[in-house]
Amino acid sequence: MQFKDFNFKKDLHKAIEVAGFIEPSPIQQKAIPVVLEKKDIVAQAQTGTGKTAAFGLPVLENMKCDGSVETVVIVPTRELAMQVSDELFRFGKFLNIKTATVYGGSSYSRQIKHVESASIIVATPGRFLDLLKNKQISIKPSVIILDEADEMMDMGFLEDIKSIFKFMPKQRQTLMFSATMPEPIKRLAKTILNEPEFITITKSEVTNTSISQSFYVVEEYERDDALMRLFDYKNPYKSIVFCRMKRDVDRLSSYLVSQGYSAKGLHGDMEQRQREEVIRSFKGNTIEVLVATDVAARGLDVSDVTHVFNYQLPFDSEPYVHRIGRTGRAGKDGIAVSIVTPAEFRSLKKIQKDVGATMESKVIPTINEVKKKQQSSLLEVLKNQEIDEKVYELIEKLKNDFDLSTIVYKLASFIADTEKVKGKDKIGKSKKDIEYLLSRVRDGHGGNRNRSQRRRNGGGSNRSRNNSSNRNRNRNNRR
């Protein structure tokens, strides 16, 4: 199937062609015909599967373009609001459709002014509800869309969303999109939707085929060393490293910079201007590593992220789904890597079961294995390297002091020095250790060995236990 088969308006087809869209994704194939019929839907599909186009294209097709606000899209974060707004504007630019973004941390008056001339509003719940309650905007949209509904529930926006719908017309089309479908989402759907059609994209239709998932087992104190070694071995083009806490983001991003990586952190305590600058730098390839909390990275739409690293596993499967969905987008392959301690094995097992994914256990490469990989990559680069005329003069000067063989060895040694592998030789658990620990979890004995063995192995699991006991207190700090 192709997008031209949907028989959209000529100007909408033109925008689709300019965007380079040809074949619709599974969620687009299933959702677009239902939305075109103006039915309510509850659509479940993992992040990165093209949900914005799945609701945006048919909604744009149905819009009257009469100068009033016809559509409202509610999203969990400012970053996602801006990105959804940009994408809808891109699809609707030949239809003369204007979009307005409404979110906290920006001028009320400017946003209200944009709403007055907009056909579509993309908003975060808090600021949007403020404008409605204070009667600063008065709108009667015919379509309401909840995007990333599960994430909004997790961020505590349920009551805000319920209040928002008190201001919305009873006669409307309501669309709900979510990566997961926990009970609060199902209950909300029953109260705000009218005889919805349920659309579910199975796990086999999305990430499992495009994202390679693996995990490495280390002690708590080895996380930094493990991440550095994996960077050296995998040599990611552009990556996101996920941490649980804001303080971890700040510390790890500073550590990566000290190790020579172009990295920046992203979390909820940063000012909006700072957040926008970091995202712009990441999209523009000014930085190669983004270190982020789950909520701060929500809605990031960067198509060329090659690797996602879980510096720490999330506590639940839903954040894991959202995390790995940052890679393998737009039909590209992606790699998701998790650094796991024995104390996290139960979470690992639960995530594997919920996500239905095959996560391969691997051993952190040794220094020698990294060097072999680097040499192999270097050989490929050299084979394809074109000779620059400027080097002839340099070689001639070197020939005054050395023969050609010595020059070659010196240049190769110089390159090798720039690729030094840091850290101790062996990091983390061996294959045999991992199999033993996994068998204990399967047998119901837990992931850790006995206390004396933990002490002999370096004792790094105390912090894990402390982290586990402090989960509830640290809940807000994740953002």
- 376-398 residue pLDDT tens: 777 777 778 888 888 888 888 88
Q: Which of 288-302, 331-345, 434-448 has the highest mean pLDDT?
A: 331-345
- Among 381, 398, 418, the domain-final residue is 418
Confidence of residue 47 (pLDDT cuts 50, 70, 90): low
* Nearest C-alpha neighbor of 150 from the set 195, 194, 122, 187: 187
Alpha helices in 304-430 (DSSP H): 317-324, 345-355, 367-384, 390-399, 404-418
105 and 234 part of one domain: no
Residues 288 and 142 in one domain: no
Is the pLDDT confidence value at 451 over 70?
no
As a whole number, the mean pLDDT across the chain is 84
Lowest mean pLDDT segment, chosen from 133-147, 263-277, 399-413, 450-464 = 450-464
What CATH number corresponds to the domain at position 353? 3.40.50.300
Lowest mean pLDDT among 151-155, 195-199, 236-240: 151-155
Q: Is 264 helix (H, G, I), strand (E, B) or coil?
A: strand
Least confident of 91-100, 113-122, 187-196, 453-462: 453-462
For residues 332 and 380, membership in a common domain is answered with no
Domain hosting residue 155, numbered range: 3-201
Does the structure show a pLDDT above 70 at 41? yes
User: 28-32, 172-176, 284-288, 327-331: which range is least confident on average?
Assistant: 327-331
pLDDT at 473: 40
The structural domain count of the chain equals 3
Mean of pLDDT values over 286-292: 94
Residue 332: pLDDT above 70?
yes
Do residues 225 and 324 both lie within one domain? Answer: yes
Q: Per residue in 250-277, pLDDT tens?
A: 999 999 999 989 999 998 788 878 888 9
pLDDT at 356: 73
3-state secondary structure of 361: strand
**Using CA atoms, how far apart are residues 139 and 162, in angstroms rounded to an integer?**
17
Q: What is the pLDDT of residue 453?
A: 42
pLDDT band at 303 (very low <50, low <70, confident <90, very high): confident
Helix and strand element counts for the chain (H, E): 21, 14
Mean per-residue pLDDT for 89-109?
89
Record the tokens describing residue 132, joined without a space. 């409605």
pLDDT higher than 60, residue 120: yes
Distance in angstroms (rounded) separating the CA atoms of residues 17 and 15: 5
Tell me which amino acid residue 148 is. E
Q: What's the token pair of residue 365?
A: 């490469």
Cα torsion angle, 130, 133, 139, 140, sign: positive
As a residue count, the chain comes to: 479
pLDDT interval class at 330 (50, 70, 90): low
- Considering the domain architecture, whether residues 18 and 132 belong to the same structural domain is answered as yes
Write down which residue in 145, 175, 201 finishes a domain. Answer: 201
Is the pLDDT reported for residue 152 higher than 80? yes
pLDDT tens, residue by residue, 409-450: 888 777 766 666 777 888 888 888 888 887 776 666 655 544
Q: Is there a single domain that holds both residue 244 and residue 374?
A: no
Sheet of 41-44: strands edge to edge? 99-102, 120-123, 71-74, 143-146, 173-178, 41-44, 197-200
Q: What is the mean pLDDT of residues 149-166?
A: 90
Q: Are residues 301 and 223 in the same domain?
A: yes
- For residues 189 and 224, state if they share a domain: no
The predicted pLDDT at position 202 comes to: 61
Identify whether residues 376 and 346 lie together within a single domain.
no
What mean pLDDT do residues 10-17 have? Answer: 91
Give me the pLDDT at residue 177, please: 92
